[in-house]
Amino acid sequence: MQILQQRTFWTEPPTHVRVYPCPACQETISVDAPSCRFCHATNDVLVAEKLWADNRQVTTAVTRANMFSVSSRSALLLTGLSIWSLIVSGGLAEIWVVVNLLALSYGAQWLSHNDSLVTNDADYAEAVTKVKRAMIVWALALLIQVTLNLIFYGFPDWETIFVVE
Ligand SMILES: [Zn+2]
């Protein structure tokens, strides 16, 4: 019995369990099951494989959106550091601007990459909102830094930001 359990654990790690929402009742079921264990609807293997692939894409998108959303909390810290360095060093710190722009481009890429996803998944709808909200936070952080720099020192020297010598 113990040997059997170990072997099952070895050949089927939890990350490889292929699940998707049943088209009939929306409960999470396995691709390998011939019928839904909740509503007993029969599952076509090809349809199941397709739905599983879609579901995996949604799950990945939601995970990335959550990570991006968490990252926006560091925008506050970053803005604080940037303002401090603005006052101390007498100019906008290029690296903070670059980090802001990278974060914004990540959000934009997430939105365009997952644009084609068609899903009723509530987590996914929430993920889209989270990404947009995080982008607003990052954009505001950038706006505050640039505005403060304008107030203190006038227009930044963009060439030193974008041209790496
Ligand atoms: Zn079902």
Q: Taking a C-beta distance cutoff of 8 angstroms, is the pair 24, 36 a contact? A: yes
Cα of 28 to ligand 1 centre, how many Å? 8
Nearest partner of 146 among 135, 157, 162, judged by Cα: 157
Cα of 31 to ligand 1 centre, how many Å? 12
Higher model confidence: residue 121 or residue 145? Answer: 145
Task: Report residue 39: phi and psi, to 5°.
Answer: -110, 0
Cα of 5 to ligand 1 centre, how many Å? 28
pLDDT band (50, 70, 90) for residue 9: very low
Which residues lie across from 35 on neighbouring strands? 42
CA distances 21 to 37, 43, 54, 119, 125, Å, are 12, 11, 10, 11, 16
Note the pLDDT of residue 87: 81
* Amino acid (one-letter) located at 41: A
Cα of 48 to ligand 1 centre, how many Å? 12
Q: Which of these ranges, 91-95, 97-101, 153-157, 158-162, has the smallest mean pLDDT? A: 158-162
**Dihedral of CA 42/44/45/51: which sign?**
negative
Note the pLDDT of residue 5: 45
pLDDT over 70 (residue 32): yes
Chain segment 47-106, per-residue pLDDT in tens: 999 999 988 888 899 999 999 999 998 898 888 888 888 888 777 778 888 999 999 999
pLDDT band (50, 70, 90) for residue 136: very high
Cα of 30 to ligand 1 centre, how many Å? 11
Tokens of 135: 């982008």
Ligand 1 (ion): residues with CB under 5 Å are 22, 24-25, 36, 38-39, 41
Q: Taking a C-beta distance cutoff of 8 angstroms, is the pair 54, 48 a contact? A: no
Cα of 24 to ligand 1 centre, how many Å? 5
Cα of 122 to ligand 1 centre, how many Å? 18
Report the alpha-carbon distance of residue 82 to residue 11 in Å, rounded.
50
pLDDT over 50 (residue 3): no
